A = this chain, B = another copy of it.
Amino acid sequence: MKEIEVKILIVESATKYFSKFGFYKTTMDEIAKHIHKAKGVLYYYFKNKEELFNEVLKQELNSVKAELSKIVNSETDSLIILKEYMLTRLKLLHKAVNYHETLKADFFEKYLFVKDVREDFAEFEHTQITLILKKGKKEGYINIKNINSAVNVIMMVVNGIEIPLFLQNKYAEYENTIDELATMIVNSLRTQKK
């Protein structure tokens, strides 16, 4: 059995348990047992439990990033891309249960160790949304003075509603409203002259 394969098995097992029970109710022992290994081997591949969780989280967010990148780089006009981006973002993050747990980091200090992965994701999104708006401006679909302000507003709004949506399970209830929100944001950026 080659090293790389075991590492993958560990992350798979960890993903399974962290997704189901969360960080604190998952034990290193059960992650190891599930792949018929001794607990010690986890520490051969990962420094500690927190680092293993971060790896799981990173992979979860990487697949979200990949999907979002596809949208950003698609050949459509920017306003459609922006709307698609916002809706897909929320749809994908809705299913990213380990990401949900990291939202608690804003309340409880015991989750501080996910800071880096979260910041990385926020930075990624800032870049992507900036790209969309810049392209839209260049192509004439979007008419705004300050792109960065608009990006900040969009990020504040989509981040702001995450807690009600994901931690309070109001995603289904809000689904229609989210669509309308996306439409409104897009309309506010749209070039006015006909």
Contacts and interface: CB of A to CB of B under 8 A. Distances in A.
Contact of A177 (B107, B149, B189): B149
A106 B180 contact: no
Contacts of A149: 176-177, 180
A183 to B, nearest CB: 8
Contacts of A187: 187-188
Contact of A174 (B156, B178, B188): B156
Interface string A98-115: 000000001100000000
Contacts of A165: 160
Contact of A156 (B106, B181, B185): B181
Interface in A138-194: 149-150, 152-153, 156-157, 159-161, 163-165, 167-168, 174, 176-178, 180-181, 184-185, 187-189, 192, 194
Interface of A: 106-107, 149-150, 152-153, 156-157, 159-161, 163-165, 167-168, 174, 176-178, 180-181, 184-185, 187-189, 192, 194
Given A107-B168, A153-B177, A160-B164, 15 more contacts: A149-B177, A150-B184, A153-B180, A156-B177, A157-B161, A159-B164, A160-B163, A160-B165, A163-B163, A163-B164, A184-B189, A187-B187, A187-B188, A192-B192, A192-B194
26 contacts: A106-B168, A107-B168, A149-B176, A149-B177, A150-B180, A152-B177, A153-B177, A153-B181, A153-B184, A156-B161, A156-B174, A156-B178, A157-B157, A157-B160, A157-B161, A157-B181, A159-B164, A163-B163, A163-B164, A184-B185, A184-B188, A184-B189, A187-B187, A188-B188, A192-B192, A192-B194
